[in-house]
Amino acid sequence: MTVYLNGQFMPIDEARIPVLDRGFIFGDGVYEVIPVYSRFAFRLAEHLRRLQYSLDGIRLTNPHSDQEWTELISDLIERNTAEDQYLYLHITRGVAKRDHAFPNPAVQPTVFMMSNPLFTPPAALLTSGVGAISAPDNRWLNCDIKAISLLPNVLLRQMAIDAGCAETILIRDDNFMTEGSASNIFLVKNGVLLAPPKDNLMLPGITYDVLLEIAVANSIPYEVRKIAKEEIFIADELLLTSSTKEVLAITTLDNKPVGDGKPGVMFAKLHKHYQDYKRDVMRKT
């Protein structure tokens, strides 16, 4: 696997960062995950816009223009063999003597990128759906920043795994659902797709936007509004979205079936439209 680190492409085994990197010491950095279909980065402009938003959120100057990112990213895609890849971009505040305050004067940020083959969920998982648990959302108040400091998300995801499930659906103290530990969550009730509104408590998912665009384009009724905890337990369907999972049905919640316990009609529709969209937009050649 060829990766990019601070201006150079190299085999992953040769990529090294100093132990005083603020990403390592403080988790002081941001990241992006970008799917690549047929060697084209999906919604690159939107991912780069979100990256800029995250960098602004942690007051770190973007080390590259969008043009430079685009060139580096196409170079990385070319140097890796899979047709479908997922790209990981990671920028930290750089290497400096350990001090919580920003290095002054600022130091060069660390820029790391890697690509892995993208395996979207297999047919069996699309047919069965996945299990989820619910848990209090105990993260910070800037979940709209795609920060590399992911310890709460890691612990919340592991809770799901320990319970034999795939995802943890998060509920804030105000009783409203935010998102999953590494995905956005949608509900379906009486044929209407329900999405929580974007705010500082959730990551504005690129796949979330695609799903709502698909709903508009196909006259699927939808509402963007706050979703109370109680509603997720009486939903007809629950869906999760992310760049690597695309859209998946959640068929159990806290060990109880969601709806009839099978992926529902809304899931089938949205998944099909998502695949059509991907094919039409990304695989034109």
Check residue 194 for interaction with ligand PDD (CB under 6 A).
Answer: no
Question: Running DSSP on this structure, what letter comes out for residue 91?
Answer: E
Query: CB under 6 A: which stretch of 105-113, 128-136, 181-189, 277-285 binds ligand PDD?
Result: 181-189
The sign of the torsion formed by the CA atoms of 101, 103, 105, 106 equals negative
Q: Can you tell me which residue has the tokens 């770190």?
A: 60
Check residue 92 for interaction with ligand PDD (CB under 6 A).
Answer: no
Q: Find the shortest distance in angstroms from Cβ 254 to ligand PDD.
A: 20
Active site residue 256: no
Q: Find the shortest distance in angstroms from Cβ 177 to ligand PDD.
A: 12
Q: Of 95 and 196, which has the nearer Cβ to ligand PDD? A: 196
Q: Of 96 and 247, which has the nearer Cβ to ligand PDD? A: 247
Among 110, 241, 251, 252, binds ligand PDD (CB under 6 A): 241
97, 146, 229, 262: the active-site residue:
146
Are 18 and 92 in contact by the 8 Å Cβ rule? The answer is no
Q: Of 198 and 229, which has the nearer Cβ to ligand PDD? A: 198
Q: Count CA atoms closer than 13 A to 122's CA, side-chain side.
A: 1
Q: Find the shortest distance in angstroms from Cβ 206 to ligand PDD.
A: 4
Tell which residue, 118, 148, 174, has the closest CA to residue 27. 148
Tell which residue, 191, 243, 184, has the closest CA to residue 219. 191
Check residue 120 for interaction with ligand PDD (CB under 6 A).
Answer: no
Burial of 73 (0-12, 13-18, 19+ CB in 10 A): buried
Are 132 and 57 in contact by the 8 Å Cβ rule? The answer is no
Check residue 36 for interaction with ligand PDD (CB under 6 A).
Answer: no
Size of the site for ligand PDD (CB under 6 A): 15
Check residue 33 for interaction with ligand PDD (CB under 6 A).
Answer: yes
Are 250 and 130 in contact by the 8 Å Cβ rule? The answer is yes
Query: φ, ψ for residue 82 (rounded to 5)?
Result: -70, 145
Burial of 166 (0-12, 13-18, 19+ CB in 10 A): buried
Check residue 264 for interaction with ligand PDD (CB under 6 A).
Answer: no
Query: φ, ψ for residue 237 (rounded to 5)?
Result: -145, 150
Q: Find the shortest distance in angstroms from Cβ 250 to ligand PDD.
A: 14
Among 54, 85, 242, 252, binds ligand PDD (CB under 6 A): 242
Strands 110-117 and 85-92, sheet pairing: antiparallel
Cα angle value 35/41/44 (rounded, 5°): 100
Q: Of 107 and 135, which has the nearer Cβ to ligand PDD? A: 135
Check residue 205 for interaction with ligand PDD (CB under 6 A).
Answer: yes
Q: Find the shortest distance in angstroms from Cβ 169 to ligand PDD.
A: 11
Check residue 203 for interaction with ligand PDD (CB under 6 A).
Answer: yes
Catalytically active residues are: 146
Q: Which residues bind ligand PDD (CB under 6 A)?
A: 33, 153, 179, 182-184, 203, 205-208, 241-244
